[in-house]
Chain A
Amino acid sequence: MEHITRRQFLLKQAMLVPVCLGVTGFAGKVSAGPEPFRGEAPATLWKWSKQALFFKPLGQKRVMCQLCPNACVLSPGDRSACRSRVNMDGVLYSLTYGNPCAVHVDPVEKKPLYHFKPGSRVFSIATTGCNFRCLNCQNWEISQARPEDVRFYEMFPSMVAQKADESGSVSVAYTYSEAITYFEYMMDCSAEAKAKGLSNLLISNGFIRREPLDDLCRLIDAANINLKSFSEDIYQKLNQGRLRPVLETFMTLNRKNIHFEITNLVIPGYTDDIEMFKIMCGWILDTLGDTHPFHVLRFFPHYRLNRIRPTPVRTLERFRDTARHMGLNYTYIGNVPGHEGNHTYCHGCGKPLIRREGYQIPEFHIKNDSCVFCQTRIPGIWE
């Protein structure tokens, strides 16, 4: 009655196969960069959606986004890898315009920017979206979300400038998620802010194409660009990004004389290799010069990278010493409260110029952009 033939056996086995295969499909995917989301555009655009400034029609209503080096190719109904741009009937639109989901007033030191109007307040905004997929993202709730899935404020660019002004901020920062992905909004906000006499700060991973960056440089006053490592392999592994375009961004900013600071997160087991760090410092010195403040940050386990221990302070100290020794005079240690690596020392006379205690500035000895003790010019925007 219950005799099973070999054929039936194979049949039963075959039934199990799709179950196994179905699930393995999730594990096996390895890609070079983040992929666009096929057919995931919303049915209708958000009321303030704006036609993208940088894209190229490819025929048959397909478009290629020209904003960042991901260069997403989208058919109608597709959504870009950063989740912010959609192809609607052959036109690329940005869904992130006038709908910031994070709005805060922060101290400028928190960005971190140490050589830009110390102690000032910064009106900081972000919409959703990012063109990377960092495993340790601090803002994954918005960077890896779609604009329509979050709580947001309705804030047209003019209102951003007005609110920033009212809050007593001297600048507007485009930060938290990836500012490049809300490029059009950032551009218009910057213009409004500039008109009100406010500065504009770009806090970014630097993964942007040359043309949009050139436009942006006309409006921003300072930037902090995160140099995540100096290895294409690590960029790929931890961030699903690429190093080369980021380096080009640094070179462009440098050429345009924009004040920028560089941050580098030291992750144990990944970016705590001193040899790689030396190459990085060497590149910075050779290509960008010695005037750019450089922050080496302590890593804390977070988001998906939660099984790695925090960076030992001694590692950071060694990195800072190495960088300073090589000639990067303004190298700071970040995320270590109370560390002397937070203070600014004159590269002329070695005296402490700015003493930082968290976000407070108990001592400040820079006048007319120069050291009050020896009159050496200190790079940065001080007033």
Chain B
Amino acid sequence: MSRQIIRLVIATGVASVATQLAVIREFLCLFAGNEFVIAVTLFNWLLLGGCGTLCFRVIRELKRPSLEGLASLSLLLCLVGGVQIPVFRMVYKTLFIPGQAVGFYPTLVFTFLASAPYCLLVGYLLPLSLDLAAGQRVSRASTEIYMADSLGDTLGGALFSFALVWLLTPVQAVVAASMPLILLVFMIQKTRSARVVLVLTMGILLICLNQELGTLEKAGIETVFYKETPYARVTVHEGDGSRTLFQNHIPRFDTQNTEAAEKIIHYPLSQVDAPSDVLLISAVSGVFKELDKYPLKRIDYVEIDPEVAGALTRFGFCKPGPQVRSIHRDARLWLSDTDQQYDAVILTLSDPDTYQVNRFFTREFFVGVKQHLRRNGVFSFSITGYSSYPSDALVEKASSLNATLEGLFERVLILPGRDLTFLVKKQGDLILDIPELLEKRGIHTIHIKNYFHGDITSERVAQLKSFIKTPGVPNLDFSPELIRISFFEWFSRFDTSPKVFGIAVGILLVIWLGVMNRAASVLFFTGFFTMGAEMMVVFAFQIYFGYIYVKVGMIITLFLAGLLPGAYLGEKSSLSSAEHRLVMADICLVVILSGFIALLAIFPRVVSEAAFLGLAFGFGFLCGFQFPCAAKIRQEKISGITGLFAADLAGAAFGILIFSLLLVPALGLIQAGMVLVAVKCAGMMRFKLWNI
């Protein structure tokens, strides 16, 4: 029997991690696609998982667990997993005004309630398996279950990031990842009625698979392209003679938006006398047509997602000519590898309100751009601007970007408007009268020629300049000022404040800390610490090595993989008392992270890719190591063990939330890491002094 349970736990791990990765991608499409939504969703999950685990303690008193019961619940898990994504989409459509961005609090409520069934179930299944496997040897069983769960999670994570996300749609991926579990249930359930239920479940899953695409349709327009790529959901819709490409449900390219292409190309290129080489980081519809108005030798066009680049050409958004070299890489990586010099670097990414995009608006990136600019080369980018009055947040953003550029470039010109365009030149003057520059060169435009002088008056330019605060706070890789501003701006856009949420989380944290026992508190702080450290590793990795989906997936997989040998060793080792081992592991965690922080702060260039991967594994290992030690202290009682699971999950929940939403935006990455170390030390002290 215990073999079967272990298998079930592994299969549940595979299914649940893959499902949750698919769900988080779905949430990023339905709601704002920023890290706040990721953090809030993970917080909800971990918390709900903890609640599910606690629920088990109670329900166990009412009903004796059985293997058949476990199998039935596992099947229910597969069913909920498969059904939930189409259901989310339909409920979303009925709850919210179509086309409207949803604010923070509705996002919080929706993701919490939507995640509840699945997460409670997952949280409930873990201790149930443990209970069944336990018999007389609770502590060993708990470690075995913990290891099996970690193994399943690792496999599920790897399966999703290396295979499913590239090949399948979300519901397909979920169903595929659930197949091993369904198969196991089939082997366990021998009764006729149970098999009927199983067939019914399969039937419902098939209906979901069949209906999946229908739930993505937009009323009144035809979907001509749909592809889930590791970076986003990409769709192209067509209707009434125009096409629009959406990324994660946000319209990004429109075949009839000729105005954007004119601004993006001619604002910078008009400032260069004889441009020949241009670097284009992402694009807008019609850019190449505008670029063709200059006798260029080479256009390097970087678009990280080859599916987007492909769709842009295929559906007539852009027609790259023979001088265009398409590069499907992270643009930061491209710049650090190439020796190519450019006359213009043109960045057309979305707003820097995610860590992901913010990497292209930092001092470190601008330094890289400058190194690749010729003597009179120009660099330009824009962020969402204003019609008549720039909000305080926008002024702060502009001030920060101004401070980030100043000192690097001789001249900075900020053009007001619905897009705030930043033009900078390595050397020489920037001229505001762009229509005249174009006229002199005989370059014909529609929008710039006829609207520029009404929209960008010298009075408006001067007014904006007078708003810019000097000295502003520069935006740095490790100190993402723009993320901090965007966080508050996001709330103000929806006329709400993060205060209520902050207070609620604070109260919850205090309650949790209050009711926790001694061993659980170690795991709580470890959960908190490792989740924070994990985020830190991922953020830092992305800053250095770019957003490479597979590699970020690898980091997380390695972390999960580390749990396994860690737990094994923690169980086997009998060198010293469990308590002593627990403290030793804590010290190791603190020392490793401190070393990492020191390296980042002092010799950032030394840190290699392998070091990041090793680090992720190391954190996982120590985290896994601590679990059996804590289990031993807990006197090996089932109820105590469930408390440990819950503490670990809750710690992780608070860790992710506080680290990525509060510490990093407020303090910067390095300082936030230091706070993690301090919190872990405080947790350790609390543990040592518990009985005194």
| B259 interface contact, C-beta 8 A | yes
Q: Mark B229-272, 1 if CB is under 8 A from A, else 0.
A: 00000000101111010100111001011110000000000000
Closest to B58 in A: A9
Closest to B244 in A: A309
Bound Cα distance from A75 to B643, whole angstroms: 52
| A16 interface contact, C-beta 8 A | yes
| A315 interface contact, C-beta 8 A | yes
Contact A139 B454, beta carbon cutoff 8 Å? no
Bound Cα distance from A313 to B221, whole angstroms: 15
Bound Cα distance from A336 to B108, whole angstroms: 38
Contact A135 B110, beta carbon cutoff 8 Å? no
Contact A312 B239, beta carbon cutoff 8 Å? yes
Contact B446 A307, beta carbon cutoff 8 Å? no
Contact A104 B388, beta carbon cutoff 8 Å? yes
A313 contact from B241, B387, B467, B643, Cβ within 8 A: B241
| A325 interface contact, C-beta 8 A | no
A306 contact from B101, B457, B500, Cβ within 8 A: B101
Closest to A124 in B: B388
Q: How far is the CB of A371 from chain B (nearest CB, A)?
A: 24
| A142 interface contact, C-beta 8 A | yes
Contact B101 A104, beta carbon cutoff 8 Å? no
| A4 interface contact, C-beta 8 A | yes
Which residues B94-135 have CB closer than 8 A to chain A?
Answer: 95, 97-101, 105-106, 108-110, 112-113
Contact B61 A4, beta carbon cutoff 8 Å? yes
Bound Cα distance from A237 to B100, whole angstroms: 11
A358 contact from B218, B454, B500, B637, Cβ within 8 A: B454
Contact B451 A359, beta carbon cutoff 8 Å? yes
Which residues B387-445 have CB closer than 8 A to chain A?
Answer: 387-392, 394
Q: How far is the CB of A304 from chain B (nearest CB, A)?
A: 5
Closest to A336 in B: B256
Supposing A176-B388, A307-B101 touch, asked if A337 and B493 sit within 8 A by C-beta, the answer is no
Contact A27 B106, beta carbon cutoff 8 Å? yes
Contact B451 A142, beta carbon cutoff 8 Å? no
| A14 interface contact, C-beta 8 A | no
B100 contact from A24, A135, A140, Cβ within 8 A: A135
Contact A269 B98, beta carbon cutoff 8 Å? yes
Contact A360 B108, beta carbon cutoff 8 Å? no
Which residues A333-350 have CB closer than 8 A to chain B?
Answer: 336-338
Most B Cβ at <10 Å: residue of A8, A27, A314: A27
Chain B residues with CB under 8 A of A6: 58, 61-62
Contact A237 B97, beta carbon cutoff 8 Å? yes
| B337 interface contact, C-beta 8 A | no
Bound Cα distance from A3 to B640, whole angstroms: 9
Q: Mark B339-377, 1 if CB is under 8 A from A, else 0.
A: 000000000000000000000000000000000000000
| A101 interface contact, C-beta 8 A | yes
Contact B637 A109, beta carbon cutoff 8 Å? no
| A268 interface contact, C-beta 8 A | yes
Count, chain B residues at interface, CB 8 A: 71
Contact A151 B108, beta carbon cutoff 8 Å? no
Task: How many A-B residue pairs have C-beta atoms within 8 angstroms? Tell me.
Answer: 166
Contact B493 A310, beta carbon cutoff 8 Å? no
Chain A residues with CB under 8 A of B62: 6
Closest to A358 in B: B450
| A305 interface contact, C-beta 8 A | yes
| B220 interface contact, C-beta 8 A | yes
Bound Cα distance from A2 to B457, whole angstroms: 73
Chain A residues with CB under 8 A of B256: 310, 312-313, 336
| A48 interface contact, C-beta 8 A | no
| A308 interface contact, C-beta 8 A | yes
Supposing A20-B112, A141-B389, A310-B244 touch, asked if A1 and B637 sit within 8 A by C-beta, the answer is yes
Closest to A309 in B: B244
Contact A105 B249, beta carbon cutoff 8 Å? no
Supposing A4-B639, A359-B450 touch, asked if A307 and B100 sit within 8 A by C-beta, the answer is yes
Contact A104 B106, beta carbon cutoff 8 Å? no
Contact B108 A23, beta carbon cutoff 8 Å? yes
| A191 interface contact, C-beta 8 A | no
Bound Cα distance from A307 to B99, whole angstroms: 4
| B219 interface contact, C-beta 8 A | yes
Chain B residues with CB under 8 A of A255: none
| A290 interface contact, C-beta 8 A | no
Contact B391 A23, beta carbon cutoff 8 Å? no
| A154 interface contact, C-beta 8 A | no
Chain B residues with CB under 8 A of A337: 258-259, 446-447, 450-451
Q: How far is the CB of B128 from chain A (nearest CB, A)?
A: 16
| B504 interface contact, C-beta 8 A | yes
Chain A residues with CB under 8 A of B508: 19
Q: Mark A267-303, 1 if CB is under 8 A from B, else 0.
A: 0111010000000000000000000000000000101
| B54 interface contact, C-beta 8 A | yes
| A15 interface contact, C-beta 8 A | yes
| A71 interface contact, C-beta 8 A | no
Contact A304 B100, beta carbon cutoff 8 Å? yes
| A193 interface contact, C-beta 8 A | no
| A372 interface contact, C-beta 8 A | no
Chain B residues with CB under 8 A of A126: 388-389
Contact A269 B220, beta carbon cutoff 8 Å? yes
B460 contact from A2, A104, A360, Cβ within 8 A: A104
Chain A residues with CB under 8 A of B258: 337
Bound Cα distance from A309 to B220, whole angstroms: 12
A310 contact from B54, B97, B257, Cβ within 8 A: B257
| A59 interface contact, C-beta 8 A | no
A106 contact from B54, B61, B109, B454, Cβ within 8 A: B454
| A47 interface contact, C-beta 8 A | no
Supposing A20-B112, A26-B106, A237-B97 touch, asked if A269 and B219 sit within 8 A by C-beta, the answer is yes
Supposing A142-B388, A176-B389, A269-B99 touch, asked if A358 and B449 sit within 8 A by C-beta, the answer is yes
Which residues A69-109 have CB closer than 8 A to chain B?
Answer: 101-102, 104-107, 109
Closest to A310 in B: B254
Supposing A268-B220, A307-B251, A308-B251 touch, asked if A358 and B640 sit within 8 A by C-beta, the answer is no
Contact B643 A2, beta carbon cutoff 8 Å? yes
Bound Cα distance from A359 to B459, whole angstroms: 17
Most A Cβ at <10 Å: residue of B219, B455, B635: B455
Bound Cα distance from A312 to B242, whole angstroms: 6
Closest to A110 in B: B454
Q: Mark A182-215, 1 if CB is under 8 A from B, else 0.
A: 0000000000000000000000000000000000
A107 contact from B244, B389, B454, Cβ within 8 A: B454
Supposing A4-B57, A24-B109, A313-B242 touch, asked if A141 and B391 sit within 8 A by C-beta, the answer is yes
Q: How far is the CB of B152 from chain A (nearest CB, A)?
A: 27
Bound Cα distance from A301 to B250, whole angstroms: 9
| A144 interface contact, C-beta 8 A | yes
Q: Mark A351-363, 1 if CB is under 8 A from B, else 0.
A: 0000001111000
Contact A16 B449, beta carbon cutoff 8 Å? no
Bound Cα distance from A312 to B243, whole angstroms: 8
Closest to A137 in B: B387
A27 contact from B98, B105, B504, Cβ within 8 A: B105
Q: How far is the CB of A129 from chain B (nearest CB, A)?
A: 12
Contact A176 B387, beta carbon cutoff 8 Å? yes
Chain A residues with CB under 8 A of B454: 106-107, 109-110, 358-359
Bound Cα distance from A176 to B451, whole angstroms: 18
Contact B240 A139, beta carbon cutoff 8 Å? no
Contact B387 A138, beta carbon cutoff 8 Å? yes
| A238 interface contact, C-beta 8 A | yes
Sample of 12 further A-B pairs with CB below 8 A, known A139-B387, A304-B493: A4-B57, A4-B58, A5-B61, A15-B511, A102-B389, A104-B459, A109-B454, A124-B388, A151-B467, A307-B101, A337-B259, A338-B450
- Listed by A's residue number, 12 A-B pairs whose Cβ atoms lie within 8 Å are A6-B61, A8-B58, A26-B106, A27-B109, A102-B389, A141-B390, A144-B495, A269-B99, A269-B220, A272-B220, A310-B244, A312-B239
Which residues of A are interface residues toward B (Cβ below 8 A)? 1-6, 8-9, 12, 15-16, 19-20, 22-24, 26-27, 101-102, 104-107, 109-110, 124, 126, 135, 138-142, 144, 150-151, 176, 237-238, 268-270, 272, 301, 303-310, 312-315, 336-338, 357-360
